[in-house]
Amino acid sequence: MPWVELPHTADAGLEITASSVEDLVTEAARAFYAFMFGEVSLVRSVEEHTVELECMDLLELFVSWLNELLYIYDTKEKVFSPETIEVDSKRARLLAKGNLHIAPSPARAVKAVTYGGAEVSEGPPWRLRVYLDL
Amino acid sequence: MGLKQIDPVRWVLERDFKIGMKVTGLIYGDSYIIQNLEKEGALTQIANVACLPGILKHSFAMPDVHWGYGFPIGGVAAFSLNEGIISPGGVGYDISCGVRVMLTFIEEKEVASCIDELTAALFSRVPSGVGSKGALKISETELLSVLAKGALWAVKKGYGRSEDLECIEERGTLPHANPDAVSKKAIERGKPQLGTLGSGNHFLEIQVIDEIYDENVARQFGLNPGQVTVMIHCGSRGLGHQVCDDYIKVMLRAMNKYGINVPDRQLCCAPLKSEEAKQYLGAMQAAANYALANREIIGHLVREVFGDFFPKSDLKLLYDVSHNMAHIEKHGVEGKQADVCVHRKGATRAFPPGHPSLPERYRQVGQPVIIPGSMGTESYILVGTKRGMEECFASTCHGAGRVLSRKAAMKSEKADTILKRLEDRGIKVMAETIGTVREEIPEAYKDVSRVVDVVEKAGISRKVARLRPLAVIKG
């Protein structure tokens, strides 16, 4: 399993591992959705969608990526499945193109992805740790 | 090195605990609370807050303190307007998350005869759960008006009463709210969620007053033994979460601009005199207005449901107060009165008797402070004190405080067993998701009575009444 849930007194952490920075983007999304919804089986693609981020550094990029997924769910009740991912690590830029799918019923509420205790370490293996405000 | 006990309920975290601490930490707790605190990362977080520029007196931790993100939950820190900063992480994502208590004029036995039907009706009328949508359909223009006017908007639209306003902090409207400082994304998230409870530890509870500790103050508050009350706990929903997220990005860039270094990125901040701080204060107050309107609307829905069951009854608002906020307030610092910025993250403002911000009816005795317990345990009404005003910027605890992670709580007991156990104690629970019931088991929290005893022994607030739950609605 490329991710584990980390204990936290009030909230919860996710630690995700991948072989490349692009895979870490994909696996981080999978882990986040698995935490929110349990098992996610993507049904009925409803529209194409693009996420474009430009950040100060990779940590901000990953936290922003997961918060963007939360925003998409909160406003559209959809999950985003990226088909292509381009990451410019040096300039902390992300371009993800893919499809939105109808979201399943959430098992747990996430308010936000925080910077508290967050870390990204360059690889391989690439590793991301974030804590979620629940 | 580290923690030193200075009296039975006060502990000082010395400045040698961490390089860069500008002030000491002051923690309120007994041995039980300190033992729990030492098991997790909250001490480091108290020390990290003590490193922030312009911090005054101490980095405070209330007895419900526990590991959070950036600030600990239960953390209080005040900053000089000249040298100090404001930090979105010191307020949290759920801006103006708070509680209100409404007093009925019904006794427990009357409610007991219809508790199942009453709870089901409240559960059906008050939208709850993850991403829940409100019964209100409002336009973007209307939402901007909510952000500017807060609970006053709800009252003007018929979702509340004008007499409620004086019993809501800041009279129901944060005056410096700037809806223009709130992003389109935040507005998009907030528009469908107005009038919803949400999920997690948010709840609506029917309770009964089962003990009075201070008869004089209780009389002034209108509290009587056996009287049924309703407690509502919720905040600014997705709108507040997005405002916090947006301004963390702004503050990360501001720190480079102003040459500020912080030990944890979640503590990112800007000088209070800066344009970035002004923008955040305006957006934060707008999100707080959303939260105040949200609780006023839910209070209105509760009144409607109670009206269906008890047509002759009425519900009067005792008080509505936030526990995730930063306020500019006047306090005594180094012998002088000065405006300071008080961050309370999981801590409650508790103004003393005579404070000019209090409504006339409470000015003689002090501000009602609402302390919710965990699901199935008692809650408390406290009152603010002069010592709390002088010592810790008029602050006190906000609840029981977690001790068990949600993951550990999920493993401990099945939902059916929890529900049966609470039912055997006369507590009805209805929840949108079973997972919430398991995560929120009473054992996941500290004993709220011990937490409240600490703030009373410390003299920073005083017990007035205890409330026992009869029915709980969770998201």
What is the residue extent of each domain of chain B?
Answer: 3-83+94-474
For chain B, the residues whose C-beta falls within 8 A of a C-beta of chain A are 40-42, 66-70, 73, 89, 92-94, 130-131, 185, 188-189, 198-200, 238, 241-242, 244-245, 248-249, 252-253, 264-266, 268, 402-408, 433, 435, 439, 475
Average pLDDT over residues B382-404: 94
Residue A7 has a pLDDT of: 80
Mean pLDDT throughout B111-116? 94
Q: What is the pLDDT of residue B211?
A: 97
Tell me which chain A residues have a C-beta less than 8 angstroms from the C-beta of B41: 117
pLDDT band at B125 (very low <50, low <70, confident <90, very high): very high
Verify cis geometry, omega within 30 degrees of 0, for the bond prior to A124.
Answer: yes
A1 band by pLDDT with thresholds 50, 70 and 90: low
> How far apart are the CA of A102 and the nearest CA of chain B, in angstroms?
14
What is the Cα A125 distance to its own chain's centre?
17
Task: Answer with the residue of higher pLDDT: B402 or B212.
Answer: B212
Question: Is the residue at A125 inside a domain?
Answer: no
Residue B223 region by backbone torsions, left for phi larger than 0, else alpha for psi between -120 and 50, else beta: beta
Vertex B30 angle, CA B28 and B36, to 5°:
90
User: Does residue B411 have a pLDDT over 80?
Assistant: no
Whether the pLDDT of residue A43 is over 80: the answer is no
Residue, of B437 and B469, whose pLDDT is higher = B469
Query: What do you get for the CA distance between the two ends of chain B, in Å?
Result: 44
Radius of gyration of chain B (CA): 21
Cβ contact (<8 Å) for A131 and B407?
A: no
The number of distinct structural domains making up chain A is 1
Q: Is residue A92 part of a domain?
A: yes
Look at residue A79 and tell me if it is in a domain. Answer: yes
Residue to test with chain A: of B36, B38, B69, most A Cβ within 10 A: B69
Q: Mean of the pLDDT values across residues B26-34?
A: 94
- Does residue A122 lie in a domain region? no
Q: Is residue A29 part of a domain?
A: yes
A70 domain-assigned: yes
Residue B66 and residue A60: Cβ atoms within 8 Å? Answer: no
CA distance A2 to chain B (A): 19
Alpha helices in A1-134 (DSSP H): 21-37, 58-76
Alpha helices in A42-115 (DSSP H): 58-76
Asked whether the beta carbons of residue A117 and residue B69 sit closer than 8 angstroms, the reply is yes
In a domain? residue A116: no
Check which CATH number belongs to the domain holding A50 and give it: 3.55.10.10
Confidence of residue B442 (pLDDT cuts 50, 70, 90): confident
Domain B3-83+94-474: assigned CATH number: 3.90.1860.10
> Does A115 contact B73 at a Cβ distance shorter than 8 Å?
no
pLDDT of residue B190: 95
pLDDT in tens, B266-311: 999 999 999 999 999 999 999 999 999 999 999 999 999 999 999 9
Model confidence band, residue B1 (pLDDT cutoffs 50, 70, 90): low
Residue A39 counted as domain residue: yes
Neighbours of B473 (CB within 10 A): 23
Dihedral angle, C-alpha A127, A64, A134, B71, nearest 10 °? 90
List the domain range (segments joined by +) for residue A77.
3-104
| Distance between A19 CA and the closest CA of chain B, angstroms | 26
Residue A95's CB is within 10 A of a number of other CB atoms, namely: 15
Is there a contact between B231 and B370 (Cβ–Cβ < 8 Å)? Answer: yes
Cβ of A59 within 8 Å of Cβ of B70? The answer is: no
Predicted local distance difference test score (pLDDT) of residue B49: 98
The answer to whether the complex's ipTM is over 0.90 is: yes
Structural contact between residues B401 and B445, judged by C-beta atoms closer than 8 angstroms:
yes
